[in-house]
Amino acid sequence: MSQVLISAEELAESSQGRNPPRILDCRARLGDGYAGRRLWEAGHVPGSLHLDLDRDLAAESGEGGRHPLPSREAFTGTLQRLGISPDVAVVVLDDMGGQLAAARAWWMLAVWAGHPDVRVLDGGLRAWQEAGGELVLGQEALPEPSGWQPRFDDSARVTADDVFSGRELKVDARSEERFRGEAEPIDPVAGHIPGAVCRPSAANLTETGHFKSAAALDAELPSDEAVVAYCGSGVTACHNVLAYAIAGRSLPRLYPGSWSEWVRDPSRPVARG
């Protein structure tokens, strides 16, 4: 893939150019569906638009899990409303090193919808501020809507049935405690999909919240001929997919329903330990 990260300094420079990128603020808090909007209103990167995890990057929770993908038609409408087209570079950010909604937005735009130039702000909002970037208040004018009709690549995702019958290595982005079934603060069943290995998304980052080097990620990420990424609800799993991209590896396929969908069917096996 093309370059997938952008530094705060590079973002500041490109924002002053003739063709500035569309900046999407994806901050969110699990359990509070309106926190992201409030955070954006309290201060955001100049020119950035709010992209909502629960309303723009997911459909309503239900049988498909806590954050199922929106329909292709719904996401196309979101992209058009934000004036996004293949001719407009996009930068996505959050305040958790991309672990929450920024990586999900990157995956949906770059991998699923096929946008050619989507980058994640390395280090997120903290890096922007530490580099001297300001935050502004107030509304941002929406750009002219686009007419983009993405060609979605549904082969980049898998279903629960695919996971159940497939032989791909399953990589779980949740914490070690949740993976082992020692703690489960969100979903009704603890444990993991049998045969999976644990790669917490936080392990992709340095202490400063930036991504580790490509070489370090390549040495650490689980290897197999084919990989499926999952987590609790298909959000932080995208951070692992992004890490594979940074490492120059073939991208895992995403299981969007993840653990929150898997455990809805009691006939699906569960492993612990």
Provide the residue ranges of all domains of the chain, joining segments of one domain with +. 5-130, 157-262
Residue 2 pLDDT level (bands cut at 50, 70, 90) = low
> 36-46, pLDDT tens digit by residue?
999 999 999 99
Give mean pLDDT, residues 73-102.
96
Question: Which class in CATH covers the domain with range 5-130?
Answer: alpha beta
Residue 17's pLDDT is what?
82
> 196-248, pLDDT tens digit by residue?
999 999 999 999 999 999 999 999 999 999 999 999 999 999 999 999 999 99
Give mean pLDDT, residues 63-79.
97
Superfamily holding 157-262: Rhodanese-like domain (3.40.250.10)
Give mean pLDDT, residues 189-197.
98
Residue 18 pLDDT level (bands cut at 50, 70, 90) = confident
| Residue 66 zone, left/alpha/beta (φ > 0; ψ -120 to 50; rest) | alpha
Q: In the predicted model, is pLDDT for residue 1 greater than 70?
A: no
- Please tell me whether the overall predicted TM-score, pTM, comes out greater than 0.75 for this model: yes
Catalytic residue flag (residue 231): yes
Phi (first) and psi of residue 44, to 5 degrees: -145, 165
Q: Hey, what's the torsion of the CAs at 61, 64, 66, 69, to 10 degrees? A: -90
Of the residues 26, 198, 231, 238, which is catalytic? 231
